[in-house]
Structure 1
Amino acid sequence: MADKNRKKGGCFRAGCLTAVVAVLLLVGLGGWFVHQRSNRLPARFVLSVPLTGELDERPPDAGPFPFGKGRHLLSFEELLTILDRAKTDRRVDSVLLRIDGLGASPAKIQELRSSIAALRKSGKKVTAFLVTPEDKDYQLAVACDSIIVQKGSWMTLDGLKAELFFVADPLKKLGVSFQAAQWKKYKSAVETFTRNSASPENLEETNALLDDAWSDYLDSVSRQRRIGKDAFRKVVDSLAVLTPEKALGLHLIDRVATERELEQEYARRLNKPAAELLVGGREYLGATGGMRPQGGGDRIAVINITGMIVSDGAGGMSEGDGTDVATVKEALQTAIDDLKVKAIVLRIDSPGGDALAASTMLELLNEAKAKKPIVASMSGLAASGGYMVALAGDKIFAEPLTITGSIGVFSLKPDLSSLLEKTGIRREVLIRGRFADAETPFRAFDDASFRKFVELTGTVYEDFIAKVAKGRHMTPAQVDAVAGGRVWSGKRALEVGLIDQIGGLGDAVQEAKKLAGVKKEVKPALLYLPAQKTWLEYLLGSDTSDMVSALTAAMVRESLGQLQPLSRLPGAGIARFLLRTDAPQVLALDPVEVVIK
């Protein structure tokens, strides 16, 4: 095909492609110089940081072009970096958090509240500006010095909920069912596909998570706003939706104003036009060095394991869907080879995934720990396989509302035999060996095959238990007593010995610094891994086919950006695993999520 295209000429010719690359490089360099000039910060300014959406742990790859990234929301690690740098930046007069439609996990909200508290302690005033806020927005806003709600909007404070979806009955109508080996009864991930309602065990653990989140919500509002818990609970149960003026009268907020009024107030106080006064979060991050480590001193490597844990990046997992073994191996090698890196912080925001992949990652991490200390920091979710990889940490940190534990495994096998019958499709199979056709999705297991299916799951579970017992210095019986698929909040995980300490990324970095013997007065730079290339590195290090592929992928992402991601749908993560192969899957995965809305 390539030869034919070369004969035809056009832009498949080498000369034409070289010219295109040269033009793109010139455009890119021009954009870079403009970007550098725009990153000169005023001597005094208000740092304006938007907080919206899910707050993904890591930012997307910059890609091969110096434009478009500004559209992406700030990631969680970027937000933490911005707030940390602002503490000691004398140019930052105050911080304005523009909170609108926050969808982050309860644990991430807790960690942001801690960062805001540290920012206030440094002497910076922090203001929250809310637009039609809901519970998550308000729960974060109460950590600020003052809360302003946009005039003409409304507040929806109607409490918390946990959503569970079950698709077994509708799938049966299509002729699709599942056989599951659930080890043990608390490993409720399979219930989405095998039941039409929640089991008592599923309800027990979900209610426990919801209780912890509700208690934290009431406590934080009561403490920060000096409102009785019963009084705030009455607002939620009787009002639910209220005007900003009503909220002001109840002392839930401090002011009602338009965004323009707020900007004019800043302009009068600092005697500067608002356009010159307000500096956006991404602009500030770029002007202060981005996410690259600054200086030539000691470093702490922060290795991210986010999303589904998979054996490789292929098989239906798209960019940003998960973390594979090769990526972790490369990141660890970078951290070990870098003599400036004194310790590693393993940052986990994952529900788990492929049990074998998680086990392989743990083996790699344990090997690395023999060379440099490792501390595990759990973000919003570090459950099942996500908890397994945390076992490599010399210490494990989590927020009180981090979802963790779920020590258990399950296996799922789809049975499409009824679907074939409904559609009239006939299947004839010739085999050599009794179990040669046992794993097919086109018929159910017989008794002997199902026993082997269950035994395999049990073997993986026992291996998981042994890993936890070794990593946490417990007996297998002690681990089994808190395992069996049980899900724990970080607060409860501390009580049963599954983690070592309550704290966020900053606390984990301090512990890593201590274990590495770094002097107290030294503040090591953070090296985030896997390293993300800049557009220029991407451009110079790629051949033409890579660039075309990257541009195509970027265009597709932009086109689909406004659509609801399939990963948000119930059971989508498990379904994606099942589509990777026609063989049954053994997963260390947990789908429990407490939704604050």
Structure 2
Amino acid sequence: MRTLPHIAARVFNTPLLLDSAKAEVILAAVGDRLGVSSFTNIDGLTVPVRGPQMAIEDEGYLAADRETDSGYDVLKGIAKIDVFGTLVQKSGYLRPCSGMTGYDGIRQNYLQALDDSDVKAIAIDLNSPGGEVPGCFDLVDLMYETRGEKPVWAICNEYAYSAAYAIASACDYITVPRTGGVGSVGAVWIHMDFSKAIEDAGVKVTLVKYGDRKMEGNPYEAMSEPAKDRFQKSIDMVGELFVDTVARNRGLSTKKVRDTEAGCFLAAEGVELGLADSVMAPDAAFRALLKKIA
């Protein structure tokens, strides 16, 4: 059985800006391959390979005569940048691939769209539960600092949670369909303790290390309270950065954002809290943006 250490390194013992439901799906989907048999029951849970495409592509808006190798489509002067699935620091692709989108691709698409003379506005088409911390806030700050160069709308299709909401918050305007959602302004750190399973299996693990904090939080022994306190401080720092970023982007008080307690909110409630601007279906939101730049 392959334990897929490259996946484990991106899931465990690292801060994540990820909706809790998605975290549970990831643990269920990869748990057995990571040697965590208690997470193998995933009946009724499916992970989409790619998020749904915005209905506007079927309405004749696509500029068919435009030849480009860019990572976005230009539809009647609007660059549509897809942000679907789990968000990662680097995917190496300009478009969503294998259920994830890279901040590297979003950044390149966004900067290119700003410089593209055919683009009058940008629509960030979002359907994501969030993902990794590295790369997220740098991208969000870039989007915030370039506000005003061109209209940028976040069109939730269906939802933007955690890291995906951080991206949405940097846009000029956020729309969410009535069955969609926004929020999850928080962070999580997942630690797996295999020590009891290892003991039951009759295996003894010896860690030879230099420095008391070397291998802190490793999965072969129970986490100490001092180590847990240090991890909590790290995750608190990321959480506060997230709260401050959203408050700045949305013009809200940090208290109001913090008081959401990292909750996920359906459309109307998200608008009421100031996390979104309008309840609108994705195709209707796109037409509204078209009207704005007409």
**Same fold per superposition (TM over 0.5):** yes
Q: Distance in 1 between matches of 2:24 and 2:91?
A: 27
1:488 aligns with 2:265: yes
Structure with greater proportional helix content: 1
1:423 aligns with 2:193: no
Q: Structure 1, residues 118-162: CA drift from partner, whole Å, max 9, x if none?
A: xxxxxxxxxxxxxxxxxxxxxxxxxxxxxxxxxxxxxxxxxxxxx
Q: CA deviation at 1:417?
A: 1.3
Q: CA deviation at 1:310?
A: 0.7
Counterpart for residue 335 of structure 1: 113
Out of 503, 509, 512, the residue aligned to residue 286 of structure 2 is 509
Out of 294, 302, 324, the residue aligned to residue 102 of structure 2 is 324
3-state secondary structure, aligned to 1:443: coil
Letter in 2 for 1:376: A
Q: CA deviation at 1:454?
A: 0.8
Aligned length, in residue pairs? 241
3-state secondary structure, aligned to 2:192: strand
Unmatched segments (≥5 aa) in structure 1: 1-177, 194-284, 520-597
Letter in 2 for 1:293: A
Q: CA deviation at 1:410?
A: 1.1
Counterpart for residue 443 of structure 1: 221
Counterpart for residue 84 of structure 2: 306
Counterpart for residue 465 of structure 1: 243
Q: Distance in 1 between matches of 2:122 and 2:272?
A: 25
Counterpart for residue 360 of structure 1: 138
Q: Cα distance 1:443–1:189, how it changes in 2: closer, same or farther (>3 A)?
A: farther
Q: Distance in 1 between matches of 2:265 and 2:85?
A: 19
Q: Distance in 2 between matches of 1:294 and 1:191?
A: 41
Counterpart for residue 255 of structure 2: 477
Q: Distance in 1 between matches of 2:103 and 2:23?
A: 25
Contact 1:344 1:512 in 2 (8 A): no
Q: Distance in 2 between matches of 1:334 and 1:374?
A: 13
Q: CA deviation at 1:470?
A: 0.8
Letter in 2 for 1:381: Y
Q: Distance in 1 between matches of 2:24 and 2:98?
A: 26
Q: Structure 1, residues 357-410: CA drift from partner, whole Å, max 9, x if none?
A: 332331233344343220110012211112111011111101111022121111
Out of 231, 247, 262, the residue aligned to residue 453 of structure 1 is 231
Counterpart for residue 369 of structure 1: 147
Q: Distance in 2 between matches of 1:464 and 1:431?
A: 34
1:434 aligns with 2:228: no
3-state secondary structure, aligned to 1:306: strand
Letter in 2 for 1:475: S
Q: Structure 1, residues 315-344: CA drift from partner, whole Å, max 9, x if none?
A: xxx932110111112211331231010110
Q: Structure 1, residues 191-231: CA drift from partner, whole Å, max 9, x if none?
A: 787xxxxxxxxxxxxxxxxxxxxxxxxxxxxxxxxxxxxxx
Contact 1:404 1:493 in 2 (8 A): yes
Q: Distance in 2 between matches of 1:180 and 1:359?
A: 16
3-state secondary structure, aligned to 1:470: helix
Q: Distance in 2 between matches of 1:335 and 1:490?
A: 28
Letter in 2 for 1:379: N
Letter in 2 for 1:502: V
| Mapping for residues 524-535 of structure 1, pairs under 5 Å | none
Q: Structure 1, residues 486-542: CA drift from partner, whole Å, max 9, x if none?
A: 111011111221111111233333443455xx33xxxxxxxxxxxxxxxxxxxxxxx
Contact 2:15 2:238 in 1 (8 A): no
Out of 149, 169, 176, the residue aligned to residue 391 of structure 1 is 169
3-state secondary structure, aligned to 2:170: coil
Contact 1:347 1:377 in 2 (8 A): yes
1:349 aligns with 2:143: no
Q: Distance in 2 between matches of 1:181 and 1:303?
A: 26
Q: Distance in 1 between matches of 2:141 and 2:13?
A: 31
3-state secondary structure, aligned to 1:454: helix
Q: Distance in 1 between matches of 2:219 and 2:153?
A: 42
Counterpart for residue 498 of structure 1: 275
Contact 2:178 2:281 in 1 (8 A): no
Q: Percent identity?
A: 23
